[in-house]
Amino acid sequence: MSIARFDGVAKWYGRVIGLVDVSLELPAGVIGLLGPNGAGKSTFLKLLTGQLFPSQGKVEVLGCDPFRTPSIYRRLGFCPEQDAFYESMRGRDFVRYLGAYQGLSGGTLTRAVDAALERVGLVEESKRRIRTYSKGMRQRIKLAQAIVHDPELLVLDEPLTGMDPVGRRKTIDLMAELGAEGRTVLVSSHVLHEVESMTREVVLIYQGRVRAHGTVSEIRSYLDRYPYRMLVRSPQARDLARALLALDSVTGVSLEGDRIHLTTLKPDELCAALPSLVLDRDFVIEEFDAEDASLDAIFEYLVG
């Protein structure tokens, strides 16, 4: 089931292009929105959350036009990228104030605020004024206001920026937890390993265009013109390299001590052939890994 749909969407600011010809459907689950700074991620999220309307095309979120349907924000939580706050407010009051706009009041609002603060781990610090918060705490209080009304779609723009490793880990776990509860969480980031640690489902944006969309392995498999790079470690590296080179599926081999770096256009065929090769010739393999199936490598192929 798709949560959001972009249909031929373009957005420009005067003569500057923000997003070009984006057509995609976002499925439920945790999704990473990836791209370097200025790629168009924020424009994408602002269109999705109805802060901007498209110059061309149509955006539909949870079945509605987000710009013209404010009621959609009952089901959507948004954590903006910018470090903007009502600095003199206490953390708890900030979450409470924004929660009150959701139609919550009295005991219901108090319980919702408590639950949100508990989830982001800011119960104690919420009594302090926001101006005294560290960068990580500011990120977490932003997250609390986004989840206070228990939304089914959560849109987080660079939520890990400025967090310490512990806070980062906790936030990543929280996102996984929210996803496991059946919510859709769309997280943007320009840090590849952050996204990789959260989800395998990604949307790659570069220069205002969506370059790829799907799971990391799906996207990798579309990149036919780039041979896969594999690493094999064996004490019989030289003999094994020779045997591998004889396989049709292997297009190149290089040796580096006990490490063999090989390239292939048909990784499935190679994986099928390798066990019999090893058993027939008594090779010992200590390590076998794909060197460029990481998001990092894919990103480099797509935008490099």
Partner 1 sequence: MTQIRGFLVALQQAALDALRGRRGLVLLLISLVPMLIAFFADGDRSGLRNFVYHNLVLNVAFQFVIPFCALLLGASVLGDELEGRTITYLFTRPVDRGLIYLGRLFGTGIAFSVLLAITLSAALHLRPVLNAPPWLDPFGTVKLAVGVFWVYLAIFAGVRTILKRALLVGMLYILVLDLFISHMVYIGLAQFSIWHHVAVIYTEDFERTYRGLRFLRQAIPEGAAASESVRFLAVAFGLAAFLGAWFTRTREYPVAGAVA
Binding site for partner 1 (CB under 8 A): 13, 16-19, 37-43, 46, 49-53, 67, 70-74, 76, 78, 80-82, 84-86, 88, 97-98, 100-103, 105, 145, 207-208
C-beta of 158 vs 292, nearer to partner 1: 158
C-beta of 18 vs 91, nearer to partner 1: 18
Smallest separation (angstroms) from partner 1 to the CB of 101: 4
Smallest separation (angstroms) from partner 1 to the CB of 74: 4
Q: How far is CA 300 from CA 35, 192, 214, in A?
A: 11, 11, 16
Q: How far is CA 25 from CA 4, 21, 150, 166, in A?
A: 6, 13, 23, 33
Q: Which residues contact 92 (CB under 8 A, 6 or more apart)?
A: 113, 117, 126, 127
C-beta of 75 vs 233, nearer to partner 1: 75
C-beta of 188 vs 234, nearer to partner 1: 188
One-letter amino acid at 52 equals L
Q: Give phi and psi for 208, each to the nearest 5.
A: 80, 5
The whole-angstrom separation of Cα 49 and Cα 57 is 15
Smallest separation (angstroms) from partner 1 to the CB of 130: 11
Smallest separation (angstroms) from partner 1 to the CB of 257: 43
193, 43 Cβ separation under 8 angstroms: no
237, 257 Cβ separation under 8 angstroms: yes
Smallest separation (angstroms) from partner 1 to the CB of 4: 15
Question: CA nearest 206: which of 123, 283, 301?
Answer: 301
Smallest separation (angstroms) from partner 1 to the CB of 147: 13
C-beta of 187 vs 240, nearer to partner 1: 187
C-beta of 104 vs 216, nearer to partner 1: 104
21: left (phi over 0), alpha (psi -120 to 50) or beta: left
